[in-house]
Amino acid sequence: MPSVCFYFQVHQPKRLRNYHFFDIGKQHCYEDEELNRDILLKVAKKCYLPTNALMLELIKKHQGRFKIAYSISGTAIEQFKKHSPETLDSFKRLADTGCVEMLNETYYHSLSFLYSQEEFLAQIKMHRELIEREFGQKSISFRNTELIYNNDLGKLAESLGYRVVLAEGAEKVLGWRSANYIYHAEGTKDLKLLLRNYPFSDDIAFRFSNTNWSEHPLTAEKFSSWVHRIAGSGEIINLFIDYETFGEHQWEDKGIFQFLEVLPDKILMHNNFDFCTPCEAIERYPVRGTLNIPELYSWADIERDLTAWCGNKLQEDALKTIYALEKKVKSTGNDTLLKTWQSFLTSDHFYYMCTKWFSDGDVHKYFSPYESPYIAYINFQNAVKDFKLILG
C-alpha cells in the first residue's frame, strides 16, 4: 500500500529595517517591526488561517485517513504569538487531532550546521523544547533548514535521537534510484531518509498556476492519477512544499484551495493508497538501500545546492562576519545580545543577497524586501557593524 507523505515548511523571518550608514552608533533597533507584522498578518489571512481551517476539515472528514506534517520555525512561532495568536491556536488545533506530526529544525531557520556545530545544537535544543511546549509533541523527525543535508548531518541527527531526516530527492543523490522509497543514511546505525519527490512537489508549489506549463490546469484528478501510477514502483510519495503555496504563492483565485480540498478524496479513491506522517512511514516501510551523500544538497533552485545562501562574495562575507562574533557574544552571558545575534543568523538575510538572476531570479526577487542583493548586503552589514560596537 503506497502512502503519500505531505510535509509543509512554515517560516517567517524577522526582516531588518532600512539601516543606513549614519544610523551606526545611534540606532540599536535592527528589525522592521511594522513590515514583519504587516507581512505576517497578510500571509495569515491569505494562507495560514484558511489553509489550517481546510486541513482541519479534511482531517475530520476522512476520520484519521488524511495525515500531514509541519515544521514551524521558532521565528514564525514568536511572531504568531506577538501578532496573530489565532494562527498559532489554529496550528495547535491541528496538532491535537493526532493526525499531524510536528518536526524539529533549527529555531532561527539558520545555516548554523555549516558554520557552528555548537550553535546548531543549541538551536535544535531550543526548537525541540519549543515544539514540545507549544504542541505537546516530542519529535523523532528532523529537517534541516531548506532540507540542507549530507552524511555528516545524518550522523549528528542520529546522535541527537532522531530516527528520520527529510532531504531532497535530487538526481545527483539518487542516481538510478527512486525517491519513492525509504533509504538508510550512510554512516549511521539506523537513521532513515525520506526524500522529496521534487517533480510532484514542484508541480503544486511552482507550476500550479503557470499557464505556459503543458499540464496546466492541474486538477486533483490529474495529479492523483500521476500519484496512482507509482503503485508497484514505489512505496512513499513525499510531497514536501512551502506552506505559503496555498493562498500566498498560488492565489486563491487560481483554484489552489479547491485543488487541496478535493485531492485527499482523489488519492484515497484508490484503495491501496493512504496518507502517513514521517514517523509512521519509517515504521510501515522497509529500507530499500543505503544512500551515500558526502556533498551538501538542499531543495533550493534548480541546482539543489547551497548557492542560494552562500554562492557569492557578498554572502560569504556576511556569513563570515556574523559567525565570527559567536564566541564574543556568548562570552557576555547577555541573553538579549545572544538573541539579537541569533536572529542575524536567519538564512533569509543571506538569501536576499543572492545574485542569481537567471532561471531562479524571479523567485529570489519575490521573497526579498530589497531592491537588489547589494542593498541587502549593505543593510545587513550596517546593522552588524552597530551590533559589533555594542559588543565592544
CA geometry: angle 374, 376, 382, nearest 5 deg: 100
Residue 78 three-state SS: helix
CA separation for the pair 25, 284 (Å, rounded): 58
- DSSP of 304-340: TSSHHHHSSHHHHHHHHHHHTTHHHHHHHT-HHHHHH
Phi-psi region for residue 247, left (φ > 0), alpha (ψ -120 to 50) or beta? left
Strand partners, 242: 9
Supply angle C-alpha 16, 48, 220, rounded to 5. Answer: 130
Residue 244 is given by DSSP the state: G
**Residue corresponding to grid cell 551538501:** 296
Residue 9's H or E segment, with its range, is: strand 3-10
Per the annotation, the verdict on 34 as an active-site residue is: no
> Considering 146, 158, 235, 244, which one is annotated as catalytic?
146
Distance CA 196, CA 288 (A): 16
Q: How far is CA 49 from the centre of its chain?
A: 18
Q: Beta strands 100-102 and 141-142: pairing type? A: unpaired
Cα dist from 191 to 4, 87, 154, 280, 287, whole Å = 20, 33, 7, 14, 10
Phi, psi of 196 (to 5 degrees): -65, 130
Residue at 15: amino acid letter: R
Strands 192-196 and 3-10: unpaired
The answer to whether the CB of 5 falls within 8 A of the CB of 277 is: yes
Q: Are strands 68-72 and 3-10 parallel, antiparallel or unpaired?
A: parallel
C-alpha count within 13 angstroms, C-beta hemisphere, residue 273: 22
H or E, element range at 85? helix 85-95
SS3 118: helix
* Element containing residue 49 per DSSP (H, E): helix 49-61
Residues marked as catalytic: 146
